[in-house]
Structures are given as C-alpha cells and as structure tokens.
Structure 1
Amino acid sequence: MLNGRTALIVEEEFLIALDVQRMLETLGVGQTLFARMPAEAEQLRARWPEIAIAIIEARMGDPLAMQLAKDLAAARIPIVLVTGDLDVQHSFADRPDLPVVIKPVPEGALADAVRQALAVHS
C-alpha cells in the first residue's frame, strides 16, 4: 500500500511511535520520520514533500497538533489522527478526509484509516 514511501509519526510516547511504525511497515512503508511534538514535525518541513502519510497524536485543546494537521493537509499529505480522547474522534466526525483512530491503536483500524486517508488524496 505504501510501496516503500516515507511516513511521519508525531507521537509523544516513543514506544507507541515504534508500535505504529511496525504497523506501517506491514503496509509497506520504507522510511519513518519521528517527531515527539508538532514543533519537531515543523522542523522537518523540508522533508514534507517525500511524506506519503502522517500519523499525528491529537488531544483536545492542543492547538499545535490541529495546526500541524491543517498545515500537512494544505501540503496535500494524507493524515491519520490517533488519540486517547473520544472527544477528538467526535469533533472530526464530519471530516472523512481525516480518519481518527482511538488508542490503543488496533492494527486493523490503523490500516483501514491509512487506506481511507490515501484514497481521499488519490
């Protein structure tokens, strides 16, 4: 599905980020860029053109993560939000272009969300 392309994972918890990376590898991701917070992802902006999918941790009341999602979407990068907050999922129910997966991240749910995000941008 990802055919050796690059993924960006924005996740504060490194072990969760590694688990997401493992799941993405089963979908064919080649290289993974990691950022612990949105500001670190912004520092990787020069590499955004090579990103095929971005997985972003989102929390209600975190304007930086939401701004990062908007910036990545403006750059035409498919996005999947992951969250432990059900309110985040409900707040994006009207955005089919922005799939939301609830933590802990089930592998099948992440794969479906990646497919959905890629389909919107194809």
Structure 2
Amino acid sequence: MADEGKRDTEAMLNGWRVLVVEDEALIALDLRNMLEGFGCTVVGPVATVENAVEATERDRPEAALLDEVLGEASVAPVAEELRRRGIPYAVVSGYSASPAGDPALREAPRLSKPVAVSDLWNLLAGLRRGATAA
C-alpha cells in the first residue's frame, strides 16, 4: 500500500514545472538535481527578483521554490506575483522565520537550508496535492 502511494506521488510530480529562485549557485544546483530526480521539469534557476518575475510570466511554472533573500532584495514581489497567478510556492531559507515579515513569505510553507531530499519530496507532494485540489 505504501508503494502504491509513492507511485501516485511520483506520477504527480513527473513533468511538474518548478521555478527555482536561488542566488547561491551550489544550493540552486542541489535543488535542481533533487527536483530532476523527482521527475520535475526545472525552470531556472534564477538569481534575481526581476528574472524570477520574468520567468513566472514567460515560462509559466506550476510551482516555485523561493530563497527568501536574493543578495539584499526580498523575494516578496515574486511571492506576490505567484500568489496573484495562483501558483503554489514555498520558501527555502536559512532563516527560521521570515526576516522581512511579509505575509506572502511568512505564511508560505518553509524548508530550512540545507534541504533534505525527503523534506523537499514531502513539501512538493503537499504543494502538488493543494494545486490539484484548487
């Protein structure tokens, strides 16, 4: 029975377009490798707020993983754009709580860096289930 549930989740994530917004190259690469291992199609990674908003418009991701701070800039405008478009997202951050205090970031699902494969898997499965239920 557990194998059947895992296969359903694998099928759910296969081909799912996930935008990665991360300004640290090694973390971005690690996230991309994990996502590709789950069968996801990775959009990006992108390292700036401007590029992330453009990718949201141009590449039409189905979900997004957001580093909370890109250089000195908050990723809140990206979260607002994703929220406006109805695209589920989560924050992947070194901060345990949102330093910006922006509701779009504070209320989002959150993973701490470094990201464990199982935690990312569970997060994505939850986002996907929520996206299909909407």
* TM-score with structure 1 setting the length: 0.80
2:43 to 23, 29, 32: 32
Q: How far apart, CA to CA, are the structure 1 residues paired with 2:59 and 2:74? A: 17
Instruction: Provide the residue aligned with 2:19 in structure 1.
Output: 8
2:32 to 7, 21, 28: 21
Distance 1:38 1:31, change over 3 A: same
Q: Which structure 2 segments of 5+ residues have no match?
A: 1-11
Whichever residue aligns with residue 22 of structure 2, its letter is: E
* TM-score with structure 2 setting the length: 0.74
Match runs of 1:55-74 below 5 Å:
55-59=65-69, 64-74=74-84
Pair 1:121 & 2:131 matched: yes
Bigger Cα Rg: 2
* Runs of 4+ residues over 4 Å off in structure 1: none
What is the root-mean-square deviation of aligned Cα atoms in Å?
A: 2.4
Q: Secondary structure at the match of 1:44?
A: helix
Q: Secondary structure at the match of 1:118?
A: helix
Q: Secondary structure at the match of 1:119?
A: helix
Whichever residue aligns with residue 77 of structure 1, its letter is: I
Whichever residue aligns with residue 47 of structure 1, its letter is: R
Shift of 1:21: 0.7
CA contact (8 A) 2:43 2:55 kept: no
Shift of 1:99: 1.1
Shift of 1:63: 6.4
CA contact (8 A) 1:53 1:77 kept: yes
Shift of 1:29: 0.8
